[in-house]
Chain A
Amino acid sequence: GAVVSQHPSWVICKSGTSVKIECRSLDFQATTMFWYRQFPKQSLMLMATSNEGSKATYEQGVEKDKFLINHASLTLSTLTVTSAHPEDSSFYICSARDGLKALYEQYFGPGTRLTVT
């Protein structure tokens, strides 16, 4: 149980275009989802937190107009990178919290590698 999927696993897009990454909880209801960013050989940095049906809360320094997060249902959150540039190339990881489990339980997706050319 507690499986989180991400789609796509790898995406290449051209500079200036937008790309959407999906994060799904497959066997539980995710009341809260988190989006992290990981540059090569670096740590994970929390970008934003989203609660189902509410606006996302962004960490300091993260441009909310560039990284659009939607958590429209209890099983799906999306991250849209708008007007992508090469510096947005990174590994994006989502995690999800099961509303029925302990607050510290957080399940990670397999990540999405974004390459902007």
Chain B
Amino acid sequence: AQTVTQSQPEMSVQEAETVTLSCTYDTSESDYYLFWYKQPPSRQMILVIRQEAYKQQNATENRFSVNFQKAAKSFSLKISDSQLGDAAMYFCAYRSQGGGADGLTFGKGTHLIIQP
């Protein structure tokens, strides 16, 4: 079974600065997907960024980028120019590349606080 570990229960950053959230995972599979989801106080899950394991290039979405280290099984999220609206819980998640019936395995989450 796959496991996802987020070792930072809480992170705090000044507005406009950069913050990196850590995630490691354990799997015996070679093909899979990794995700970062944001969960604001409304509790609606919002996809931030996705990475396919077969791609060496790190995914980027505007101010959000990842550092994917497949050999180290590490998948960190960097948020640049932090904004107040970025404050939320952030979950790292893993999905097998198998059939369409694979759900997500989530880490425990990191609570991100943005200091004005």
Contact = CB atoms under 8 A, between A and B. Distances in A.
B106 A31 contact: no
17 contacts: A32-B101, A34-B104, A36-B103, A42-B109, A44-B91, A46-B103, A46-B104, A46-B105, A57-B101, A91-B43, A93-B43, A95-B45, A95-B104, A97-B100, A103-B99, A104-B50, A108-B45
Interface string A81-113: 000000000010101010100011010101100
B97 interface: yes
B101 A43 contact: no
B56 interface: no
Contacts of A34: 103-104
Contacts of B106: 43-45
Given A34-B103, A91-B43, A104-B33, A43 B95 contact: no
A111 B43 contact: yes
A108 B44 contact: yes
A49 interface: yes
Contacts of A99: 100
A51 interface: yes
Chain B interface SS verdict (over half): loop
A104 B101 contact: no
Interface of A: 31-32, 34, 36, 38, 42-46, 49, 51, 57, 91, 93, 95, 97, 99, 103-104, 106, 108, 110-111
B66 to A, nearest CB: 15
A106 B101 contact: no
Given A43-B106, A44-B91, A46-B105, A103 B43 contact: no
Nearest to B6: A43
Interface in B57-116: 91, 95, 97, 99-109
Nearest to A104: B33
A106 B104 contact: yes
The 8 A-B pairs with the shortest beta carbon distances in the complex, nearest first, are A108-B45, A46-B103, A34-B103, A43-B106, A104-B33, A43-B108, A44-B106, A103-B100
